[in-house]
Amino acid sequence: MPSDQARPYIVSLAIFTAIILAVVAFGSSDYSWQGWRPDYCWPDECFCEALRPGPIVQPSNTYSSLGFVLLGLVIATPALFVPQVTGGPQKPIRSRRAYPVVYGAMLFVLGIGTLLFHASLTFVWGWLDVQSMFFISSFILVYNANRLVSISSQQFVVTYLFLNVVLGAVATTPYNRVVFGVILVAALVLEGIIRVRRLSHARGAYFYLSLGMFAVAFVIWALDLNGVWCNESSWLQGHAVWHILTAAACGLLFLYYRSERAIVGSQP
């Protein structure tokens, strides 16, 4: 029998395997996205990868999204099973179950939304793809604000959900990328305040590696979007690399938050 510590990861891998099998089976079907409203990028501005017939329009960009799904499961599932740390210097993402569950769930939804968007290039899944990016940036913003001003888990969840309801409307506008960037900058400003004021003790290497990896991923994303790095028939797509690197950056950011030995003002 697997140990209690290993069981959540076995569950995560079992769910992930089932999702992979479902995606492969779906890709082998004769389903058509005809009748669905196409995304704004259709047909010439949906990144570099060539559009293919069948239920998965952009295979490389679709399958590379699974990294977010796996990461989300590996983060959220153990948090549901493993008792949280209590007592002593508080570590919010370890002492409050809501944080890793929300963080993992948003990555899972991001992966599914991105997968379905690149499989279909339809408007509704394009909206979820953009909204999922807001899930990440808003989590970092609200979590960093919580590291400065302590709030309860319930207040965190309500604030996070309310902010994303507002951002859900922004996701349908041409300003979504600008707003995404503004939220990230604000989150980084809060992170800078925390580090300058020495309000927490965490392994900065995780943070800087995450930031550097995201910066490299963003450059690759821009090169792909503008056709600088573009071989539309290749399985090595710049946008797929963006998916993989940003998933890794999100994983490193989670490790950074988990490495905090103490956080000023936090409460159980």
pLDDT for res 167: 92
240 and 230 Cβ atoms separated by less than 8 Å: no
Q: Please check whether residue 25 lies inside any domain of the structure.
A: no
Long-range contacts of 231-238 (CB under 8 A, 24+ apart): 231/48, 232/48, 232/49, 232/50, 233/50, 234/60, 235/59, 235/60, 236/60, 237/47, 237/48, 237/49, 237/58, 237/60, 237/61, 237/64, 238/47, 238/48
Q: Tell me the CA end-to-end span of the chain in Å, nearest whole number.
A: 33
Record the pTM.
0.88
104 and 77 Cβ atoms separated by less than 8 Å: yes
Q: Total structural domains in the chain?
A: 1
226 and 44 Cβ atoms separated by less than 8 Å: no
Domain range for 226 is: 53-263
pLDDT for res 263: 54
pLDDT for res 268: 39
pLDDT digits (tens, 9 = 90+) for 209-226: 999 999 999 999 999 988
Handedness of CA 174, 138, 199, 248 (dihedral sign): negative
pLDDT for res 84: 56
Residue 262 phi, psi (nearest 5): -160, 150
pLDDT for res 266: 45
pLDDT for res 247: 96
pLDDT digits (tens, 9 = 90+) for 21-79: 999 999 999 999 999 999 988 877 889 999 998 999 999 999 999 999 999 999 998 87
Q: Please check whether residue 34 lies inside any domain of the structure.
A: no
Q: Please check whether residue 230 lies inside any domain of the structure.
A: yes
53 and 121 Cβ atoms separated by less than 8 Å: no
Cα distance between residue 128 and residue 122, in whole Å: 10
Q: Please check whether residue 255 lies inside any domain of the structure.
A: yes
Q: Please check whether residue 15 lies inside any domain of the structure.
A: no
Q: Please check whether residue 130 lies inside any domain of the structure.
A: yes
Q: Please check whether residue 181 lies inside any domain of the structure.
A: yes
256 and 200 Cβ atoms separated by less than 8 Å: no
Q: Please check whether residue 100 lies inside any domain of the structure.
A: yes
Instruction: Per residue of the chain (268 residues), give pLDDT as tens.
Output: 456 678 888 899 999 999 999 999 999 999 999 999 999 888 778 899 999 989 999 999 999 999 999 999 999 988 777 655 544 445 567 767 788 999 999 999 999 999 999 999 999 999 999 898 899 999 999 998 888 887 788 888 899 999 999 999 888 888 888 999 899 999 999 988 988 887 777 888 999 999 999 999 999 999 998 889 899 999 999 999 999 999 999 999 999 998 887 555 444 3
Those residues whose C-beta lies under 8 Å from the C-beta of residue 32, and which sit 6 or more positions away, are 55
